[in-house]
Amino acid sequence: MPTPNTRLTTFLDNCRNRIDAELERQLSSAGNGSERLQAAMRYSVLGGGKRIRPALCLAAAAAVGQAHENAIVPASALELIHAYSLIHDDLPAMDDDELRRGRATTHIAFDEATAILAGDALQTMAFGWLAEAPGLVDQVRLAMIRELASASGHLGMVGGQAIDLESVGKSLTIEQLEKMHRHKTGALIAASVRMGALTAADVTEDQLAALTIYSQTLGLAFQVQDDLLDIEGDTTVIGKPQGSDLARAKPTYPSLLGTAGARDYLSQLLESALASLEGFGKEGDLLRDMAGYVVARTH
């Protein structure tokens, strides 16, 4: 029997390979549009990434007894949405980032207009893929589209990015900080888990409710760990212009709770996430592994 660590590593590797192959396959069809636009879409989507959201989707499918097969397209659609959000967040008018995953961001590698359009087209593509996802009945496809729209729109991810931009330089309460993160990253992480569970047309309300709590808790844990990694990161980065940090000072969990307080909170969140999976037997193990991975990841 593999140790949890081997099991997780194997799962994450397999998942990344399957998802990358699917994204590659679907994005390589020639089409009859703009070559430059399509190159920017490929660059943004196929440039690596941990594929955490797809992995959560596949792990949730496993938790309700479903084969990975039917979750591959939904998982890939989630990655399209994630990729589009990164392109737009990196734009000069937003976070103005020139590097991501060690490569030039899309608007630097191409140009700003192409980056905006590539993000737009990737969002469209995600919904188009869900509407044609193989192995799923129409009712499930529509439930997933509603889930993704709700999680990524103005009351989800995009709303969170707007709240984030409004928060720059402001002092937030912990409640306000959590509201921002619940929207900005939490909603899409929750949708990843819920869409995986929806691959089982007979998923129960109880199962969905438990997985929703799991995924919302995990979404917060993800952000706390992100904030902690940012601090670690900052101390090792040399020559980062301090002025830009100050100018864009964003509230974080460590800044509100202290580093030790943030670590304690992270442990509590992990415990809650695992507790929410109590109703699941061995089939929930991949989700348990993923929770451990999210709080322990180093990048």
Q: Which residues bind its own copies (CB under 8 A)?
A: 31-34, 36-38, 41, 84, 88, 91, 93-94, 111-114, 116-117, 119-121, 123-125, 127-128, 130-132, 138-139, 141-142, 145-146, 149-150, 152-156, 158-163, 165-166, 179, 183
Residue 32 amino acid letter: N
For its own copies, the closer of residues 65 and 169 by Cβ is: 169
Q: How far apart are CA 44 and CA 83, in angstroms?
A: 6
Residue with tokens 């212009």: 241
Q: How far apart are CA 61 and CA 229, in angstroms?
A: 29
Residue 296 amino acid letter: A
Q: How far apart are CA 157 and CA 151, in angstroms?
A: 6
Min CB(193)–its own copies separation in Å: 19
Grouping H, G, I as helix, E, B as strand and the rest as coil, residue 104 is strand
Min CB(41)–its own copies separation in Å: 6
For its own copies, the closer of residues 150 and 207 by Cβ is: 150
For its own copies, the closer of residues 120 and 226 by Cβ is: 120
For its own copies, the closer of residues 65 and 128 by Cβ is: 128
The secondary structure of the chain in percent helix, strand, coil, rounded to multiples of 5, reads 75, 0, 25
Min CB(284)–its own copies separation in Å: 29
For its own copies, the closer of residues 31 and 258 by Cβ is: 31
Sheet strands (E) in the chain: 99-100, 103-104
Min CB(107)–its own copies separation in Å: 8
Min CB(156)–its own copies separation in Å: 8
Say if CB 129 and CB 135 are below 8 A apart.
Answer: no
